A and B are shown apart, each in its own frame.
Chain A
Amino acid sequence: MNLVQDCALPTFDLSRPQMRKSIWCEGCGLGNLQQALTKVLVQHESKRRGLDPDIEEELEQIKNNIALVSGIGCTSRLPGHLDVNTVHTTHGRALGFATGLKMARPDLTVVLAAGDGDIFAIGGNHFIHAARRNPDLTLIVYDNESYGMTGSQHSPTSPLGERGASVPYGVFEPPFDLVALAQGAGASFVAQGAVTMSQEHQTQLEELIAQALEYQGFSFVNVRGSCHTGWGEYNQREDAYHYRQYIEKRTMPVERWRELPESEQPHFIPLGIFVRKHRPDIHNSVHYQAAAERAKRVDSGETLVQPPAEQPDPLAEFQLTSLRFAGTGGQGVISAGEIALNAALQAGRSGVFTKNYGPEARGGEAYSDVIVSTGDIHFPQTDQLDVLVALNQESFDKFRDTVAPDGTIIVNSTEVFELYNDSRVVASPIGEIHARKLNPSKRYLGINVLALAITLAYLDLVPTTALEAAVMQGLGKKKPQLNRKALALGFAEAERLAGNANGAPGR
């Protein structure tokens, strides 16, 4: 039953032969929506790609490049009826699926058909973000002001006072103002059509969908339609004819509607285009293009080397040293650990680096741990530390007890004054060397490399050349002079400390 008289048939048949039988009720407005969409889609695609739909192969190409995506609900069955690429997804998530598809395959024309419950309730978050993000999608919502498939519960567009299965005494929560919602979220193409008894409205619907498809960016067409077997049953509009007439008699062009007093506006259904302004879609936006361009300049900087020799006997004993670099946020103790690991790699050792997790380290104490070994390291932490590098008093106090009795604690004696007569301490005026001799432009800049050079060289953990390579390939790339100087100062200090240690054990 075609309730719209003389409705223009689609020029081309897009239907899937196996899907000619639909779950939709007789007289449902969704048939008219499908008809309008089918007709316009072929026209749009043939124009966009310069293809002639009268030629069979070219019609095939047209179909191959259209993707229809939907969620869950009566409207969401629409894509299945059509012989294009169709994805019937989960409730509310169609915009997520379609956004991913369009991002990865911008060459496809991606269109969504969904219901009001699907898009504005469970999928509301995706709706506002699609409007904001502006992918080149066309979203067509069949808005029957209710959940049809599940049996006439009220939706975010149900009018106040009307009844439904979940509102037996009337809707008591106000509906969305969809235009304001979409516009507020940034949508730059918003239109509303309707499926009624009028051929004019059907033609207008086709035009609105055509313009939405034409529009480059996120375009949203709300289609007011009936659900005479569901919501209509509860609200004395039990047959399609009356429901459609009920919609029709309240419609008016948006231009006229805007001139109505605000108090009267809610009683009418404005049709036409509410918003259409130029805004490049995400792929064509200046900022996306600029980001993509900047990203291409990143160099992976990888070189091939010979694979390491076969691994040693797992039961063989091996040297294993655990170190902790601790200080205050900003002293670079995390990168000190990372460089130490890279130095181990350069020296052909194995290693593991762990840190206290980023967000925790934002303020106050920070530390990183490195285990360096001549054999395989499995468990990534040790009960006791072999070496602690404490750049400030707090970290010395906090971690002193975790150091093994025969371990070493290298302290920055410029900031650590209370040493508790700890025999494991090797005191070095790291802060003073840093401030006086390295002469950094910023507080703490380079102090980590200095401390690292002192530590690794004093303990003779890795060859100094390995440390040099690790520093110069990492931090040193940006400030080569400063880092070279920090290394040299550190090695010199390590030698001085070693000399002291020989003369006076345990300082």
Chain B
Amino acid sequence: MAVTPSSLNVEIPASAPARRHPKIDLRVVDPVRAAIRDGSVIGVRRTTLSGNDAVAKGALEVGARFFAGYPITPSSEILEYVAKHIFRCGGTYLQMEDEISSIAAAIGAALGGVKSFTATSGPGFSLKQENLGYACLTECPLVVVNVQRGGPSTGGPTDVGQSDVMQARWGTHGDHPVVVVAPYSVQECYEETIRAFNLSERYRIPVIVLTDAKISQMKEPVTLPAQDAIPIVNRAKPIGTQQGYEPFGLSPTGIPPLAGMGEGYRAHFTGLYHGRDGLPTRDPKMIEEQMLRIHAKLETPTATAEIRKTETYFIDDADVIVVAYGITARAAKDAVVQARREGLRAGLLRPVTLWPSDAEVLPEVLGRVRKVVVPELNLGQYITEIQRLAYESARRNQIVPPEIVPLNRVDMQLISPAQILQELRS
């Protein structure tokens, strides 16, 4: 049998350098990973799952009790998993008449006080955009899973793509805050869905889980924490009287508490600009205050630390790096391992949270490397953000920015480790 990933298809030099580096440094304490590590005391669950099943399982285990979806390849297995298991968890679901009402129903349930989510793929994600904006403006905790496929239009329904990176950030109209996470393995589909729900609850914001056709369909062994060890965040509830309740009020955290319906706090939710009381307003000062607040709530030091997440892999002494996310980061890891074996000072930056982009780790690393390769299964979307961060950091520090090289594929095939390795070598 082959003794090296045969996908690399390269000769290994006899004297690979043995320098050690921190293997994985996520720069944040991930509560789910911590729970798995703590499993030595209470035990963990080992099983094999597909990416779609892992997303659905994570959602149910972090407390999602309502799901509304519409069949679309390659995300339908999420609907199917939920249909099979959500009753057992005490929740319910609906297959709605279309993509639009799916997200509408999920928001309705979420405003009612029940953690809920919806799942789709490219075309369906496009259809959901208006109501996604509604969730942004009403600060509704919600998780939307988008299993990316080829696009635009129907594109390649069963084929892999990463073409919704910008749509996930800017798909709905208007300035809006949004959090987008991009798992790169089945294990991470589970972990990041849990994190997505926790972030959405903590910050009252829709969180998008951006997977792809490949990860959603493949199966891998996973290690899950014991059910009672899963870290669960629930939205902050108001205290005090109805009269004093401001569902969009100011608070030290910038995140107003959110009552569920029937709990004694009645609120008005509207997609119109609204004041602290939730009622429509045309007062320019109030509109500005609210628009700035919904953005600022993600920019506090606490929020930044919790939301941003970037894996750094052999980064410390790297002079040529790959910035890759999702499925493409897997090829990048193989390429980096191989480059290291060859003696190159190669590394990988893997944004796990795509949006907001990591304004701490990314500029720091981009400011000290010679070359950056950005492989994407699109014609260059996230690379624009990398360029922005790198050029800004270079300008600020008065240095020459690194060479930033795109590596794109839109033929529905994965970018291979060999392709990335070639760029790292040159």
Query: Given A320-B6, A352-B219, does the pair A87, B105 have CB atoms closer than 8 Å?
Result: no
Q: Please tell me if the beta carbons of A18 and B277 are within 8 angstroms of each other in the complex.
A: yes
B108 contacts which of A69, A353, A378 (Cβ < 8 Å)? Answer: A69
Q: Please tell me if the beta carbons of B261 and A108 are within 8 angstroms of each other in the complex.
A: yes
- Choose the segment among A26-34, A97-105, A245-253, A267-275 that binds chain B (4+ C-beta atoms closer than 8 Å): A97-105
Chain B residues near A87: list those with CB within 8 A. Answer: 108, 111, 268-270
Q: Hey, what's the 0/1 contact readout for B1-44 against A, CB within 8 Å counting as 1?
A: 11111110100100010101001000000000000110110111
Q: Please tell me if the beta carbons of A306 and B104 are within 8 angstroms of each other in the complex.
A: no
Q: Please tell me if the beta carbons of B97 and A308 are within 8 angstroms of each other in the complex.
A: no
CA distance A342 to B49 in the complex (A): 10
B66 within 8 A of partner (CB): yes
CA distance A63 to B264 in the complex (A): 9
B381 within 8 A of partner (CB): no
B314 nearest CB neighbor, chain A only: A314
Q: Please tell me if the beta carbons of A386 and B6 are within 8 angstroms of each other in the complex.
A: yes
Q: Please tell me if the beta carbons of A341 and B219 are within 8 angstroms of each other in the complex.
A: yes
Nearest 6 Cβ contacts at the A-B interface: A100-B105, A96-B104, A304-B43, A96-B101, A295-B87, A100-B108
- Choose the segment among B195-203, B328-336, B356-364, B403-411 that binds chain A (4+ C-beta atoms closer than 8 Å): B328-336
B388 within 8 A of partner (CB): no
A80 contacts which of B113, B223, B280, B341 (Cβ < 8 Å)? Answer: B280
- Choose the segment among B88-96, B299-307, B366-374 that binds chain A (4+ C-beta atoms closer than 8 Å): B88-96
A136 within 8 A of partner (CB): no
Query: Given A87-B108, A311-B23, does the pair A381, B220 have CB atoms closer than 8 Å?
Result: no
Chain A residues near B111: list those with CB within 8 A. Answer: 87, 97, 101
A321 within 8 A of partner (CB): yes
Chain B residues near A353: list those with CB within 8 A. Answer: 48, 218-220
B331 contacts which of A16, A104, A379 (Cβ < 8 Å)? Answer: A379
Q: Please tell me if the beta carbons of A105 and B279 are within 8 angstroms of each other in the complex.
A: no
Q: Please tell me if the beta carbons of B37 and A379 are within 8 angstroms of each other in the complex.
A: no
A133 nearest CB neighbor, chain B only: B94
Query: Given A319-B3, A404-B2, does the pair A381, B341 have CB atoms closer than 8 Å?
Result: no
Query: Given A80-B270, A97-B104, A320-B6, does the pair A307, B112 have CB atoms closer than 8 Å?
Result: no
CA distance A176 to B305 in the complex (A): 55
- Choose the segment among A143-151, A200-208, A355-363 that binds chain B (4+ C-beta atoms closer than 8 Å): A355-363
B414 nearest CB neighbor, chain A only: A381
Query: Given A93-B104, A98-B108, A311-B23, does the pair A381, B6 have CB atoms closer than 8 Å?
Result: no
CA distance A311 to B33 in the complex (A): 14
B266 contacts which of A69, A84, A315, A377 (Cβ < 8 Å)? Answer: A84
A105 contacts which of B4, B47, B114, B217 (Cβ < 8 Å)? Answer: B114
Chain B residues near A318: list those with CB within 8 A. Answer: 3
A101 nearest CB neighbor, chain B only: B108
CA distance A314 to B5 in the complex (A): 13
A317 contacts which of B12, B131, B134, B221 (Cβ < 8 Å)? Answer: B12
A104 contacts which of B65, B217, B220 (Cβ < 8 Å)? Answer: B65
Q: List 28 A-B contacts (CB under 8 A).
A: A64-B262, A80-B280, A85-B267, A89-B131, A90-B131, A97-B105, A99-B108, A100-B108, A104-B91, A104-B109, A104-B116, A105-B262, A107-B262, A304-B43, A305-B43, A305-B45, A308-B46, A315-B341, A320-B2, A344-B221, A345-B48, A353-B219, A357-B73, A357-B213, A379-B414, A380-B214, A380-B414, A386-B2
CA distance A308 to B108 in the complex (A): 41
Q: Please tell me if the beta carbons of B46 and A105 are within 8 angstroms of each other in the complex.
A: no
Query: Given A79-B268, A87-B111, A302-B47, does the pair A100, B12 have CB atoms closer than 8 Å?
Result: no
CA distance A45 to B68 in the complex (A): 28
Q: Please tell me if the beta carbons of A96 and B45 are within 8 angstroms of each other in the complex.
A: no
Chain A residues near B65: list those with CB within 8 A. Answer: 104
Q: Which of A312-353 contact B (CB under 8 A)?
A: 313-315, 317-322, 338, 341-342, 344-345, 350-353
Q: Please tell me if the beta carbons of A103 and B277 are within 8 angstroms of each other in the complex.
A: no
| Nearest-Cβ distance from residue A192 to partner chain B, whole angstroms | 25
CA distance A77 to B340 in the complex (A): 63
Q: Please tell me if the beta carbons of A304 and B226 are within 8 angstroms of each other in the complex.
A: yes
Q: Please tell me if the beta carbons of A93 and B101 are within 8 angstroms of each other in the complex.
A: yes
B87 contacts which of A90, A292, A378, A381 (Cβ < 8 Å)? Answer: A292
Q: Which of B160-217 contact A (CB under 8 A)?
A: 213-214, 217
A379 contacts which of B5, B16, B220 (Cβ < 8 Å)? Answer: B5
Chain A residues near B36: list those with CB within 8 A. Answer: 307
Chain A residues near B103: list those with CB within 8 A. Answer: 96
| Nearest-Cβ distance from residue B196 to partner chain A, whole angstroms | 19
Residues of B whose CB lies within 8 Å of any CB of A are: 1-7, 9, 12, 16, 18, 20, 23, 36-37, 39-40, 42-48, 65-66, 68, 73-74, 84-88, 91-94, 96-98, 100-109, 111-114, 116, 130-131, 134, 158, 213-214, 217-221, 223, 226, 242, 261-264, 266-272, 277, 279-280, 327, 330-331, 333-334, 337, 340-341, 414, 416-418
Query: Given A107-B262, A125-B98, does the pair A80, B279 have CB atoms closer than 8 Å?
Result: yes
A502 within 8 A of partner (CB): no
Residues of A whose CB lies within 8 Å of any CB of B are: 16, 18-19, 60, 63-65, 67, 69, 79-80, 83-90, 93, 95-105, 107-108, 125-126, 128-129, 133, 291-292, 295-296, 298, 300, 302-308, 311, 313-315, 317-322, 338, 341-342, 344-345, 350-355, 357, 359-360, 376-384, 386, 404
Q: Please tell me if the beta carbons of A100 and B45 are within 8 angstroms of each other in the complex.
A: no
Chain B residues near A320: list those with CB within 8 A. Answer: 1-6
CA distance A90 to B172 in the complex (A): 13
Q: Please tell me if the beta carbons of B6 and A322 are within 8 angstroms of each other in the complex.
A: yes
Chain A residues near B268: list those with CB within 8 A. Answer: 16, 79-80, 86-88
Q: Please tell me if the beta carbons of B104 and A83 are within 8 angstroms of each other in the complex.
A: no
Most chain A beta-carbon contacts within 10 A, residue among B105, B223, B414: B105
| Nearest-Cβ distance from residue B42 to partner chain A, whole angstroms | 7
| Nearest-Cβ distance from residue A391 to partner chain B, whole angstroms | 21
Query: Given A315-B18, A315-B341, A320-B4, does the pair A352, B158 have CB atoms closer than 8 Å?
Result: no
CA distance A89 to B130 in the complex (A): 10
Q: Please tell me if the beta carbons of A308 and B101 are within 8 angstroms of each other in the complex.
A: no
A79 nearest CB neighbor, chain B only: B268
Query: Given A352-B218, A386-B2, does the pair A379, B334 have CB atoms closer than 8 Å?
Result: yes
Query: Given A129-B101, A357-B73, does the pair A64, B264 have CB atoms closer than 8 Å?
Result: yes
Chain B residues near A102: list those with CB within 8 A. Answer: 108
Q: Please tell me if the beta carbons of A93 and B100 are within 8 angstroms of each other in the complex.
A: yes
Q: Please tell me if the beta carbons of A314 and B104 are within 8 angstroms of each other in the complex.
A: no
CA distance A306 to B139 in the complex (A): 40
CA distance A318 to B5 in the complex (A): 8
Query: Given A90-B134, A359-B158, does the pair A67, B112 have CB atoms closer than 8 Å?
Result: yes
CA distance A24 to B264 in the complex (A): 29
Chain A residues near B270: list those with CB within 8 A. Answer: 80, 87-88
Q: Please tell me if the beta carbons of A383 and B218 are within 8 angstroms of each other in the complex.
A: no
Q: Please tell me if the beta carbons of A93 and B43 are within 8 angstroms of each other in the complex.
A: no
B261 nearest CB neighbor, chain A only: A85
Q: Please tell me if the beta carbons of B7 and A126 are within 8 angstroms of each other in the complex.
A: no
A70 nearest CB neighbor, chain B only: B270
B327 nearest CB neighbor, chain A only: A380
Query: Given A80-B268, A307-B39, A320-B1, does the pair A103, B66 have CB atoms closer than 8 Å?
Result: yes
B92 contacts which of A108, A292, A377, A384 (Cβ < 8 Å)? Answer: A292
CA distance A360 to B74 in the complex (A): 12
Q: Please tell me if the beta carbons of B92 and A104 are within 8 angstroms of each other in the complex.
A: yes
CA distance A403 to B364 in the complex (A): 44
A305 contacts which of B44, B85, B262 (Cβ < 8 Å)? Answer: B44
Chain A residues near B1: list those with CB within 8 A. Answer: 319-321, 386
| Nearest-Cβ distance from residue A68 to partner chain B, whole angstroms | 9
Q: Please tell me if the beta carbons of A354 and B218 are within 8 angstroms of each other in the complex.
A: yes
Chain B residues near A315: list those with CB within 8 A. Answer: 16, 18, 337, 340-341
Chain A residues near B39: list those with CB within 8 A. Answer: 304, 306-307
Chain B residues near A85: list those with CB within 8 A. Answer: 261-262, 266-267
